[in-house]
Amino acid sequence: MQSKMRKKPWAMMLSLVIVLALLAGCGSNSGGSDKGAQEGAAADSGTITMWGWNKAFYEPTVEAFSKKYPNIKINFVEVAAKDYLKKIQTSVAAGGDLPDIIWGEAGFRGALFALNILDDLGGAPYNFEKSLLLDAVVPQLQNDKGQLVSMEWSVSPGAMAYKRDLAKQYFGTDDPDELAAMFPNWEAFIAKGKELKEKSGGKTAMLAGMMDAYTIVYPQYPEQFIKGDEVDTNGVTSIFSTLENIRNADITAKLDMWSPTWNASYAQDNVLFYPAANWTPKFVIEPNDKSSDGRWGLMVPPGGAYSYGGTSLGIWKDSKNKEISWKFLEWFVASKEGGELNMKIDESLVPLKSLFEDKALFSSGANSYYGGQDLGLFWTEKVLPAMKTKPYTRFDQDIYNASSLAMQTYTKDPSYTAAQALENWKQELQKNHPEIQFK
């Protein structure tokens, strides 16, 4: 009896060894969970190369990312925004390597997408659902095939900044909602502009210059009038006609946008309204008017909200580090943690729908510089839901340059018409793009 009992444990142990061996053999044949775990760990380690121009963004972002993914290193190569597209194009032409993560600034994003170097983030290995993003932003992140090839990390809704004291003096109110109701469209804005000119004796203008007007009017046009190589000139004519009406009313201070005199006007009384994005307060208004407190406000402009800039991140389609590159993008622009970090760094808005369910996330509190306005809620509640957008095109930089020439001519020549502006605009575009067809 005792002999049988002594033998039984050995028999059980032998059976267990055999079973484990069989299981190990099966696991070896099928890939096994251990192997999958090892591969998962390996996928979370490595080095990503990223080219970009905003070091103030890079440093706190990488610091936070490294805490979550300590084995993923980011090699950040600083490239000036003005040189970025050319550097990419030069590398493509030479057949050289590109960074794993590629930035796309609004002005050149269409030309970047046309190079066909970015991966489809809706496909493997990313499989991101673009329905998770704000609908208005999606067209700005797609190539001409409808593929999502970039993720926005700084949606830039456009509005209008104004000087509260001047608005109160000449229009009887400095309330942003009352002013927006007073200027529902450009016709009303022009009429009030003439009134302002008379009341101020010509000392105060509604806008700084024609390029300020263009910055708001051009992206407000509701339809996509550039498709492929074709440009529907009806849209351009409509835009230039509105701008001609603004010029004819003589309600600008005739200042060149971004010039020293334009910058100086922020602290003076010669201009009342300016185009403004969510980055404008920090990077334009406050540096140019440092001594003010309570003088500024933000309002929805005539014609409604528009898109005014932005930067996106995409992944090079030949990258050898796609999985870990996506780890960064997914964390930074498709998670609550990333969205909160963006707000903290420079109040950038990540267009993830789920983030906007929590209003407290975007509230920045009453800001005395802006007359007690909560700027975070202004952008997310008043502007972003009504923001107009169109897909970017590879012609955008040349369109901007051609339009800038038209605005300069509008300013210098009071007889210059929308029809003339259109013809010159077409000629300028065809210098670099003879393939364009106008209809």
Q: Cα separations (Å) of 38 from 44, 62, 69?
A: 10, 25, 16
For residue 5, pLDDT beyond 60: no
User: Residue 35: pLDDT band by 50, 70, 90 thresholds?
Assistant: very low
- Predicted local distance difference test score (pLDDT) of residue 43: 53
Residue 29 has pLDDT above 60, yes or no: no
pLDDT of res. 93 = 95
C-alpha distances (whole Å) from 381 to each of 24, 78, 194, 384 are: 58, 35, 31, 7
Mean per-residue pLDDT over the chain, rounded: 89
Q: Between these two residues, 338 and 210, which has the higher pLDDT value?
A: 210
Q: Is the pLDDT of residue 11 over 90?
A: no
Task: Give which of 12, 57, 29 is closest to 346, Cα–Cα.
Answer: 57
pLDDT for 344 = 82
Write the DSSP symbol of residue 51: E
Q: Is the pLDDT of residue 21 over 80?
A: no
Comparison of pLDDT for 44 and 27, the residue scoring more: 44
Range 417-423 average pLDDT = 96
Residue 8 confidence (pLDDT): 35
Query: Which domains, and CATH codes, for the chain?
Result: 48-155+310-357 (3.40.190.10), 157-307+368-438 (3.40.190.10)
**Over residues 60-72, mean pLDDT:** 92
Q: Which residue, 6, 46, 31, is CA-closest to 328?
A: 46
Long-range contacts formed by 404-412: CB under 8 A, 24+ apart: 404/211, 404/214, 406/240, 407/209, 407/210, 407/211, 407/213, 407/214, 407/243, 408/210, 408/256, 410/210, 410/243, 410/244, 410/247, 411/209, 411/210, 411/247, 411/252, 411/254
Q: How confident is the model at residue 24 (pLDDT cuts 50, 70, 90)?
A: very low
User: Model confidence over 299-356: pLDDT tens digits?
Assistant: 999 999 999 999 999 999 999 999 999 999 999 999 999 888 888 887 788 999 999 8
Higher pLDDT, 103 or 38: 103
Among candidate residues 139, 135, 310, 306, the one with its CA nearest the CA of residue 220 = 306
Give the pLDDT of residue 17.
33
How many residues are present in the chain? 439
The band of 419, judged by pLDDT with boundaries at 50, 70 and 90, is very high
Q: What is the pLDDT of residue 3?
A: 36
Judging by beta carbons within 10 Å of its beta carbon (0-12, 13-18, 19+), is residue 344 exposed, middle or buried? exposed
